[in-house]
A and B are shown apart, each in its own frame.
Chain A
Amino acid sequence: MLETLLANYEEAVAVILFGIGFSMLLFHRNLIKKIIGMNIMDTGVFLFLASMGYIAGRRPPILEAGVEGIENYVNPVPAGLVLTGIVVSVSVTAVMLSLTIRLYKRYHTLNIDDIYRLSKKEHEEEDR
Chain B
Amino acid sequence: MPSFVCSFPLFMIVGCLLSAAGSMLMRGKAARNLAMAFGAVLFVMDSVLLAWTVKHGAFTYSMGEFPAPWGNELRAGVLECFMLLVFLLVMLCSGMAGYRFLAEDVDESKLPLYASLMHLLTAALCALIFTNDIFTGYVFLEILTLSSCGLLIVREIGRTTLAAVRYMVLNLLGSGLFLLGVVLLYDITGHLLMVPMHEALTEIIADPSMHLSLAFAAGILTIGLAIKSGLFPFHFWMPDAYGWATPTSASVLSSLVSKAYIFLLLKIYLRVFGPEVLSILPLSRILLVLGILGVVLGSVSALRAGNINRMVAFSSAAQIGYIYMSIGIGGTEGYTAALFHILAHAVTKSILFLSTPRLADVSGESLLFRNLQGAGRKDPFSGAFFTAGALSMIGVPLFAGFASKLVIALSAVDTGNLKKIIPVMIALAASSVLNALYFIRTLIRIWHDPDGSDDLYDPAVRLPETVPYTAACALLLAANLFLGLFSWEAVDLIRLGLSMFS
User: Which A residues have a C-beta under 8 Å from some C-beta of B?
Assistant: 18, 21-22, 25-26, 31, 34, 38, 41-42, 45, 48-49, 52, 77-78, 81, 84-85, 88, 91-92, 95-96, 99-100, 102-103, 106-107, 112, 115-116, 118-119, 122-123, 125-128
Interface of A is mostly: helix
Binds A, one of B99-107, B158-166, B467-475: B158-166
Q: In the complex, how many angstroms separate the beta carbon of A4 from the nearest chain B beta carbon?
A: 11
A119 near B162 with CB under 8 A, answer yes
A81 near B161 with CB under 8 A, answer no
In the bound complex, residues from chain B placing their C-beta under 8 Å from that of A115 are 162
B176 near A41 with CB under 8 A, answer yes
Check B307 for interface membership: any CB of A closer than 8 A. yes
In the bound complex, residues from chain A placing their C-beta under 8 Å from that of B310 are 128
In the bound complex, residues from chain B placing their C-beta under 8 Å from that of A118 are 158
Check B142 for interface membership: any CB of A closer than 8 A. yes
Q: In the complex, how many angstroms separate the beta carbon of A48 from the nearest chain B beta carbon?
A: 6
**Contact flags (1/0) for B294-321 with A, using CB distance below 8 Å?**
0000000000011100100000000000
Interface size class of B (residues with CB under 8 A): 35 or more
B179 near A25 with CB under 8 A, answer no
A122 near B180 with CB under 8 A, answer no
Interface of B is mostly: helix
Cα A72 to Cα B192 with chains together (Å): 23
B158 near A122 with CB under 8 A, answer yes
User: Which B residues have a C-beta under 8 Å from some C-beta of A?
Assistant: 135, 138-139, 142, 145-146, 149-150, 153, 158-159, 161-162, 164-166, 168-169, 172-173, 176-177, 179-180, 183, 186-187, 192, 305-307, 310, 366-368
In the bound complex, residues from chain A placing their C-beta under 8 Å from that of B305 are 128
The answer, among B172, B179, B306, for a CB contact under 8 Å with A85, is B179
A48 near B180 with CB under 8 A, answer yes
B158 near A45 with CB under 8 A, answer no
Interface hub of B139, B164, B180, B186 (most chain A Cβ within 10 A): B180
Q: In the complex, how many angstroms separate the beta carbon of A101 from the nearest chain B beta carbon?
A: 10
Cα A52 to Cα B162 with chains together (Å): 38
Cα A119 to Cα B158 with chains together (Å): 7
7 pairs from A and B in contact (CB 8 Å cutoff)? A42-B179, A49-B183, A78-B186, A95-B150, A95-B168, A107-B158, A128-B310
A25 near B168 with CB under 8 A, answer no
The answer, among A34, A48, A126, for a CB contact under 8 Å with B307, is A126
Cα A60 to Cα B248 with chains together (Å): 49
Instruction: Give A96's nearest chain B residue, CB to CB.
Output: B168
In the bound complex, residues from chain A placing their C-beta under 8 Å from that of B162 are 103, 112, 115-116, 119
